[in-house]
Amino acid sequence: MAVWHRRAGKDSTALNFTACAAHERVANYWHMLPTAKQGRKVVWEAIDRQGRRVIDQAFPESLRGGKRDDEMLIRLKCGSTWQVVGSDNFDALIGANPAGVVFSEYSVADPRAWDYIRPILAENGGWALFIYTPRGRNHGATLYEMAKSNPGWFAEKLTVDDTKIIPPSIIADERASDMPEELIQQEYYCSFQAALVGAYYGKLMEAAEAQKRITNVPWAPDLPVITAWDLGIGDSTAIWFCQQAGREIRLIDYYEASGVGLDHYAKVLGEKPYVYGDTLLPHDARVKDLSTGRTRIETLKSLGISKGRVLPNDRLEDGINAVRLILPRCWFDAEKCSRGIEALRQYRKAWDDERKVFSERPEHDWTSHPADGFRYLAIGLREPKDPNAKSLPTRANSNYSPTRWRAGR
């Protein structure tokens, strides 16, 4: 666990460490960034201070047996392979069986990647190296605290005061260029306490934590369960489960998966004991699938999911504001909604490092689908129902127990 400041040479050090490991033990090795696209930019195509391609410095031509640019993979003459991958599609790497994995920028990576890879490394006696700068008190901070107290782990935190790599004049220039102080503390002094800069809902989620609204939230059988969906195509689909009790909005459950069809989600919902009310869907649920000729709302209807309501195509800013308005009334089940809660904490604006400003658009990473699903929930709770609108009829389906979809059963 190496929590090092910005420009401390994290990736370069990790690449050279892996190059040595690959010659000590013949196996597969990964260098994992939050996204494969980011991996191509930061590692595969990166140029170091000496004007060399980073991968050529760590894996010179004399050591290579071949290279696949499309897969960002190098085959070494010793028999090992090294590959740049993304935590955004870790589940697509089934069967690779790595013996060493570098988790670069782990604090903003999908935390499920470590949960997926950990059993593989435990079984084959492999290793993991986490390199990042902090992003608030998130899963990166949790793992660092564990590593510090675990004799089986190495844990190190290096700030600019430790390495002297970045002179005070550079940091003074950053301040003069209006770089937020929280970002300076985070990037150069490895502060876990600094608020996640640019987070849309960070302070509101901190308030929910302080007010103990992230706790055990039991399901109330006498209240219908509203579901809000972010429907991914090839990406994750995220579903929030909520109940309303007076002004309270109770988030009792959360589910997310990828690479599966709508029948999978219908089965998951049907296996839960809930009595369902509205199904809130994004505006593109009415777009026809070219392979089936049906819209996704029609497909869901055929699977027994009733009360589908397609939401208006609101501006992103309006949806974010709708979330901010309802969050003070929200209660979250800490266990069942843990991934969704973490996503809401970390959902943030993209930072333009060249212009030193935040983008008007959010960072697209693993937090996007949970945050989008919650945004649709906020819009759906805000939008008045059309009294003339017809609910989708409940349809019998032996696999999914459709009687559960009838609110007020």
pLDDT value at 399 more than 60: no
Residue-range domains of the chain with CATH: 2-189 (3.40.50.300), 207-405 (3.30.420.280)
Q: Which of 59-63, 83-87, 144-148, 402-406 has the lowest mean pLDDT?
A: 402-406
Q: What is the pLDDT of residues 150-183, one digit of tens each?
A: 999 999 999 999 999 999 999 999 999 888 888 8
pLDDT value at 319 more than 70: yes
Q: What is the dihedral of CA 55, 56, 62, 67, to 10 degrees?
A: 50
| Parallel/antiparallel/unpaired status of strands 330-333 and 248-258 | parallel
The closest of 95, 113, 89, 97 to 35, measured between CA atoms, is 89
Q: Check: pTM over 0.75? Answer yes or no.
A: no
CA-to-CA separations, 49 to 54, 92, 111, 242, in angstroms, rounded: 9, 34, 31, 51
pLDDT value at 67 more than 60: yes
More confident residue, 143 or 232: 143
Can you tell me the distance from the alpha carbon of 223 to that of 208, in angstroms, rounded to the nearest whole number?
Answer: 23
Q: How confident is the model at residue 344 (pLDDT cuts 50, 70, 90)?
A: very high
**Mean pLDDT of the region 261-272:** 94
Q: What is the dihedral of CA 196, 197, 203, 205, to 10 degrees?
A: -40
Q: Could you tell me what percent of the chain has a pLDDT over 90?
A: 69
pLDDT value at 239 more than 50: yes
Q: How confident is the model at residue 321 (pLDDT cuts 50, 70, 90)?
A: very high
Q: How confident is the model at residue 353 (pLDDT cuts 50, 70, 90)?
A: low
Q: What is the mean pLDDT of the chain?
A: 88
Q: How confident is the model at residue 83 (pLDDT cuts 50, 70, 90)?
A: very high
pLDDT value at 354 more than 60: yes
pLDDT of residue 258: 86
pLDDT of residue 390: 40
pLDDT value at 43 more than 50: yes
Count of CB atoms situated within 10 Å of the CB of 346: 26
Q: How confident is the model at residue 403 (pLDDT cuts 50, 70, 90)?
A: very low
Instruction: Report CA torsion sign: 216, 221, 222, 227.
Output: positive
pLDDT value at 242 more than 60: yes
**Mean pLDDT of the region 237-258:** 96
Q: How confident is the model at residue 246 (pLDDT cuts 50, 70, 90)?
A: very high
Q: How confident is the model at residue 33 (pLDDT cuts 50, 70, 90)?
A: very high
pLDDT value at 322 more than 60: yes
